[in-house]
Amino acid sequence: MDSTPLRLATTGGDQNGLAVEAGRSLSSHGQINVLISNYEIPPADQGPFPNPPVVNDNFTIPGVGTFTLLPRRSVTYTDNDGYDLAVDHIPGGGSGVVVSRYLIDDSHNLTLVAQTIQHGPTVHLSAMLPAPAVELIVISPGHGWGR
């Protein structure tokens, strides 16, 4: 995301593990990056802390101190196995942009998993992204970008 430091407004993230961030390069006709993260809290780590060592959200280390932990919550995950992404107002998109998808999960390490060319002012992608995973979508100038 360093190469796209101008933050873009995003919607669609939630408080149950799906996050989205987007940025654009300093050039008005430059690269756009979208980062989507899908994370699920394992069932064993949900709900109240086990007693002991945590009692009423307090964790005590004898002779050191007592620490109040944030309460753990239970989460029900629904419709979180993928995404439907639209990036609007692509400059020069009518001439075509290259859309590259890079995946990080248990078997991919920022691996290029798909690359397409799209035309028009909106890039639209739908893909599966089962948790836990992170996907980086790079929208790059294609032939004629910005003309």
Domain ranges of the chain: 6-40+82-141, 43-74
- pLDDT, one tens digit per residue, over 32-58 is 999 999 998 888 889 888 877 888 889
Residues 6+ apart with CB under 8 A from 146: 29, 91, 92, 95
pLDDT over threshold 80, residue 8? yes
Please list, residue by residue across 33-55, b when 16 or more beta carbons sit within 10 angstroms of its beta carbon and e when fewer do.
Answer: bbbbbbebbeeeeeeebeeeebe
What CATH class is the domain 6-40+82-141? mainly beta
The CA–CA distances, whole Å, from 29 to 52, 68, 101 equal: 57, 49, 20
Q: Is 30 within 8 Å of 141 (Cβ atoms)?
A: yes
Give ∠ CA 88-91-93 in degrees, rounded to 5: 80
Is the entire prediction scored with pTM above 0.85?
A: no
